[in-house]
């Protein structure tokens, strides 16, 4: 079974990924207008394809999964600052020093 969609030509690929991340239909409607901008951003970041799911085991898909997950979290309705900071730290692997 193929774990990715070969081209980055449609918003349906991003929509499928977002659904696999657990986004509800109402949330999808609110962020659907962002999909073309997200695809352009992924292309500039050197992402060759959109993974079929956030659980792709292909090492080449990790960067795409991280970026898409971050964009979905940022676009979702009113995430708390603490939750967003936690997710960004996990995505980037950067942990500020504890004082």
Q: How far is residue 57's CA from residue 84's CA, in Å, rounded to a whole number?
A: 25
Residue 33 scores a pLDDT above 80 = yes
Percent of the chain at pLDDT exceeding 70: 74
Residue 4 backbone dihedrals phi, psi, to 5 degrees = -150, 165
Backbone angles phi and psi of 92, in degrees to 5:
-90, -20
Domain ranges of the chain: 4-92
Output the DSSP codes for 7-55.
Answer: ----HHHHHHHHHHTT--HHHHHHHGGGHHHHHHHHHHTT---EESSTT
What single DSSP character describes residue 76? S
Q: Residue 2's pLDDT band (boundaries 50, 70, 90)?
A: very low
């Amino acid at each position: 079974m193929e774990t990715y969609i070969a081209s980055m030509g449609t918003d349906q690929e991003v929509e499928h990924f977002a659904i696999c991340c657990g986004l509800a239909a109402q949330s999808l409607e609110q962020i659907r207008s962002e999909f073309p901008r997200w695809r352009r951003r992924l292309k500039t970041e050197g992402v060759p394809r959109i993974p079929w799911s956030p659980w792709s085991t292909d090492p080449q898909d990790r960067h795409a999964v991280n970026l898409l997950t971050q964009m979905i979290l940022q676009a979702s309705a009113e995430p708390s600052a603490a939750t967003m900071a936690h997710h960004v730290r996990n995505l980037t692997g950067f942990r500020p020093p504890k004082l």
